[in-house]
């Protein structure tokens, strides 16, 4: 847990200015998710099961306690053993983060 906190702090220090959700485009984030993420993840609010059962549905990610913009950004930039190494451009990252956060509460 301490390592994750340090990682989050390091990532926050390295984030370029203007990475705030208000600069993001939720519709573009959804479009990116439909193109890149939907093969494995349930990306829509009414989807409870991902095509790849081990892939967490975006709705569940959004509703995870403590899942902030920063936490999602760190999560998307960290390698996952079961996930392909997808490198998101900063605009795509902001947009996908904003889209996932838009699913919170559903």
Report the SS3 class of residue 102: helix
Q: How much is the pLDDT for 19?
A: 47
Helix axes 90-102, 69-77, angle to 10 degrees: 130
| Residue 7 confidence (pLDDT) above 70 | no
- Residues 3-7 have a mean pLDDT of 41
Instruction: Work out the percent of the chain whose per-residue pLDDT is above 70.
Output: 79
Helical residues (DSSP H) of the chain, grouped into ranges: 2-14, 26-32, 58-62, 69-77, 90-102
For domain 22-102, give the CATH superfamily.
Cytochrome c-like domain (1.10.760.10)
For the four alpha carbons of 23, 11, 105 and 95, in that order, the dihedral sign comes to positive
| DSSP character at residue 22 | G
Overall average pLDDT of the 65-70 stretch:
94
Number of other residues whose CB lies within 10 A of the CB of residue 41: 22
């Amino acid at each position: 847990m301490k390592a994750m906190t340090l990682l989050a702090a390091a990532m926050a220090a390295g984030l370029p200015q203007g990475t705030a959700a208000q600069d993001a485009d939720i519709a573009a984030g959804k479009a990116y998710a439909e193109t890149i993420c939907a093969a494995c993840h349930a990306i829509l609010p009414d989807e409870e099961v991902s095509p790849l059962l081990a892939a967490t549905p975006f709705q569940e990610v959004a509703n995870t306690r403590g899942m902030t913009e920063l936490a999602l950004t760190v999560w998307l930039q960290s390698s996952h053993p079961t996930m392909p190494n997808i490198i998101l451009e900063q605009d795509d990252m902001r947009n996908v983060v904003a889209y996932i956060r838009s699913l919170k509460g559903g």
